[in-house]
Structure 1
Amino acid sequence: MTGRREMHRNTLQSVRKTRIAIAIAIGVTLGCVFAIFFPHGLFTSSAPIITRTISKSNAQVNSASCESSERINMLKSEFVEASEKNSELRKEIKELTEKLRLADQRKDNAQKQVLMLGKQQKAGPFGTVKGLRTSPAVIPDESVNPRLAKILEKVALQRELIVALANSNVKDMLEVWFTNIKRVGIPNYLVVALDEEIAKFCESKDVPVYKRDPDEGIDSVARTGGNHAVSGLKFHILREFLQLGYSVLLSDVDIVYLQNPFHYLYRDSDVESMTDGHNNMTAYGYNDVFDEPAMGWARYAHTMRIWVYNSGFFYIRPTIPSIELLDRVASRLSQEPPSWDQAVFNEELFFPSYPGYDGLHAARRTMDFYLFMNSKVLFKTVRKDANLSKLKPVIIHVNYHPDKLPRMKAVVEFYVKGNKDALKPFPDGSS
């Protein structure tokens, strides 16, 4: 009995173990099946995941498209705004450039005034105010022409001298010119020889002479040119004298010296010149009334007139305006067609600034036309007047007449040798 119970107990335990094993096996098998066929779990579907992904992608695309369109519109708006700002900036730059130009101009004028005045001053009482007329002299620059600088140290007196240009065409007049300079006792004069013959001639006569270094273009005019060609050349050559710091009394050779001109100069202007005028009005200026009847009440127009300065005899100081004058005249005379040097000289001295043109700011003085006399005054007026013929001019310039040499000799006979009939054979004008 006891043995049967023991056997039955063992059989039940065995069956129980077998069932457990089978249950474990079935569980493992189902787990594998579910793992294979339902990797995302039994209650999760793949379709919604895909849908969400696609929807998300579409939303991103739509969002990007909207953002891109908005960005383009924004860029267009910014471009238009930038263009408008650029236009405004250009306008402002133009205005600023103009203001800067005007400021520079005012600064330049202010600097010139400081140089002239030294310091700012208050205006004095009525009738006592006098503006300064004398420009400051430039700083001498001997590097411009060392050889000429050495000559001028020996020849010039108080840094001023008479200078004449001459070639072989005017040899006889040149001799009358320097003979009378020596007779008067003027030590500070110099001949600029434009060819070798004149250089040797001056050396033989013990006349201070300066032979320029060869300069193609200029020398061809110097050797073969007539009076007008040589007269135009002088503006180019004079520049070196001024740069070296010397005042020059420029003289043509058709001039007779009767007194020392340096005793009669004012030296208060950039340019001090003799005039082609023949009386007070023409020499010093006058109010000329122009009549136009068709204008009725306004038929009379007042104009200011003055006869030209003579470019064959003038005193020029070494100042910036003086050098600018020489540069302007030389530049215009080098152009084609050629101009008359005296006309250009006066235009640059007198024409004011106007739209498109900046006039020369140079001080000028007209010489006494009875002391620095032209040949029109002498032959048309002075020789016929008992009182005026007793005056002794400083110089006489035979500029109005082509028969220069015989008239120069007659002037010497009349004023130096006392021959009162020496001027009578000549007509008032040219025959």
Structure 2
Amino acid sequence: MTGRRDGTLMRNTGHSLRGSRIAIAIVIGVLLGCVFAFLFPHGLFVSSPIPGRRISKSNTQVGSGPCESSERINMLKSEFVTVSEKNAELKKQIRELTEKLQLAEQGKDHAQKQALVLGEQHKAGPFGTVKGLRTNPVVISDESVNPRLAKILEKVAVERELIVALANSNVKDILEVWFTGIKRVGIPNYLVVALDEEIANFCKSNDVPVYRRDPDESIDSIGRTGGNHAVSGLKFRILREFLQLGYSVLLSDVDIVYLQNPFDHLYRDSDVESMTDGHDNKTAYGFDDVFDEPSMGWSRYAHTMRIWVYNSGFFYIRPTIPSIELLDRVAGRLSREPYSWDQAVFNEEFFYPSHPGYGGLHAARRTMDFCLFMNSKVLFKTVRNDAVLSKLKPVIIHVNYHPDKLTRMKAIVEYYVNGKQDALKPFPDGSDW
């Protein structure tokens, strides 16, 4: 009995000692863990060292833990700010790309959306009664473009429209016939844009409204010494300011004789009304010209639409967006293509339709009556030889088909103004060369 009790006591004592050792080991482990946690807050091995810093002995000292933790927090904040800024920039770029995409999509149905903005939608009426819009709204006047010119136009223009001509000293004699005819008819709203000081003084001495532009070397060098074609190219750039100021302009070359007031014969239903180089109904207003190619057999005949070009030396242009776009297109091409003829470029930009790689101009146009706004081919080849037509009095006559301009202009004045019936007879139909 005693032996069993002693054995039992020994076993119980052994179990107690083992339990105490385990408890002590646990306590020691916890204490060591606390010590290591305090000394090494980031662990014994740092897998991702802080960028731009080297781990030194000083970093492992007891007092370095809180300092390093604070620096890392600041670094993370800085990185967060940087990432946030980049994110904001990316969002901005995405918004811009989205807006551009939306604008591109809007361009596909621009005409319909423009109609919605300008007015309410309408149902189509009965057959034969439907008419599309032809007259674009005028732009808002912007006097900040040229305050000095704005003041001149307020005095000269009538109902916000006027005749404008460009001139330098090379055309002084022709210019005198030009403004003498205007004065004789009694047209008050006209203005000469003087391209040199001599013409400016000449106009002032003859009581002719004149505008001398501010110095611009790139333009003035052409204005002082340029020939007819060079000066003609300038008008598209200069006219832009008139339109931006909200004025309609009847652009006129100086080789024109005025016999009536042209403002009494305008329709004003289009962006541009222009005189034509055509000489009869077909060439002036268009016709179906059949092209024959015999090698095609059954389909040898191809129909083409033909019209003789608009004359860029006499046209009425309203202050609309399509009109300004036309001027910009022509002026831009002439600056890039110095050897191009302004009248050819004017017509190409006006008439070429939209096609792959090119967006055409969406502008309304009207061809002037070629018997009222007459070119010199019509006069010398047809009218003067016709007993009925010779009795009609045109509004203007443009001596555009002949180089001997001054003598023919004076003869036209003698014939239509002074009644000299044989004044036009000495001249050939065309020119001598």
* TM-score, length basis structure 1: 0.77
Cα distance per residue 1:368-402 (max 9 Å; x no partner): 00100000000111111111100100000000000
What is the Cα deviation at residue 132 of structure 1?
A: 1.5
Cα distance per residue 1:256-312 (max 9 Å; x no partner): 000000000000000000000000000000000000000000000000000000000
In 2, Cα distance between equivalents of 1:187 and 1:150: 16
In 2, Cα distance between equivalents of 1:336 and 1:391: 41
Aligned position for 1:335 = 336
Aligned position for 2:233 = 232
Secondary structure of 1:334's counterpart equals helix
1:155-174 correspondence runs (5 A): 155-174=156-175
Secondary structure of 1:217's counterpart equals helix
Aligned position for 1:284 = 285
Aligned position for 1:273 = 274
Superposition RMSD on alpha carbons, in Å?
2.2
Secondary structure of 1:323's counterpart equals helix
Aligned position for 1:347 = 348
Aligned position for 1:397 = 398
What is the Cα deviation at residue 337 of structure 1?
A: 4.2
In 1, Cα distance between equivalents of 2:290 and 2:337: 36
1:365-380 correspondence runs (5 A): 365-380=366-381
Does residue 361 of structure 2 align to residue 360 of structure 1?
yes
Cα distance per residue 1:308-341 (max 9 Å; x no partner): 0000000000000000000000000001343100
1:409–1:115 CA distance, 2 compared to 1 (3 A): farther
Aligned position for 1:304 = 305
Does residue 114 of structure 2 align to residue 112 of structure 1?
yes
Aligned position for 2:260 = 259
In 1, Cα distance between equivalents of 2:327 and 2:100: 30
In 2, Cα distance between equivalents of 1:287 and 1:97: 45
Give yes or no for contact 1:375–1:398 (8 Å, CA) kept in 2. yes
1:97–1:240 CA distance, 2 compared to 1 (3 A): closer
What is the Cα deviation at residue 119 of structure 1?
A: 1.2
Q: Percent identity?
A: 79
Secondary structure of 1:427's counterpart equals coil
Give yes or no for contact 1:166–1:192 (8 Å, CA) kept in 2. yes
Secondary structure of 2:240's counterpart equals helix
1:6-405 correspondence runs (5 A): 100-101=102-103, 103-106=105-108, 108-114=110-116, 116=118, 118-405=119-406
* Count of residues in correspondence between the two structures: 347
In 1, Cα distance between equivalents of 2:227 and 2:217: 18
Does residue 403 of structure 2 align to residue 408 of structure 1?
no
In 1, Cα distance between equivalents of 2:338 and 2:160: 37
Secondary structure of 1:303's counterpart equals strand
Secondary structure of 1:259's counterpart equals coil
In 2, Cα distance between equivalents of 1:114 and 1:221: 45
Paired residue type of 1:113: A
Paired residue type of 2:354: S
1:243–1:123 CA distance, 2 compared to 1 (3 A): same
Paired residue type of 1:428: D
Give yes or no for contact 1:115–1:136 (8 Å, CA) kept in 2. no
Cα distance per residue 1:218-252 (max 9 Å; x no partner): 11111110000000000000000000000000000
In 2, Cα distance between equivalents of 1:286 and 1:207: 42
Gapped regions of structure 2 (runs ≥ 5):
23-97
In 2, Cα distance between equivalents of 1:215 and 1:338: 21
In 2, Cα distance between equivalents of 1:416 and 1:315: 25
Paired residue type of 1:419: K
Paired residue type of 1:134: T
Paired residue type of 1:340: W
Deviates more, 1:137-146 or 1:332-341: 332-341
What is the Cα deviation at residue 115 of structure 1?
A: 5.0
Secondary structure of 2:290's counterpart equals strand
Secondary structure of 2:200's counterpart equals helix
1:115–1:188 CA distance, 2 compared to 1 (3 A): farther
Secondary structure of 1:140's counterpart equals coil
In 1, Cα distance between equivalents of 2:278 and 2:236: 23
* TM-score, length basis structure 2: 0.77
Larger radius of gyration: 1
Paired residue type of 2:402: H
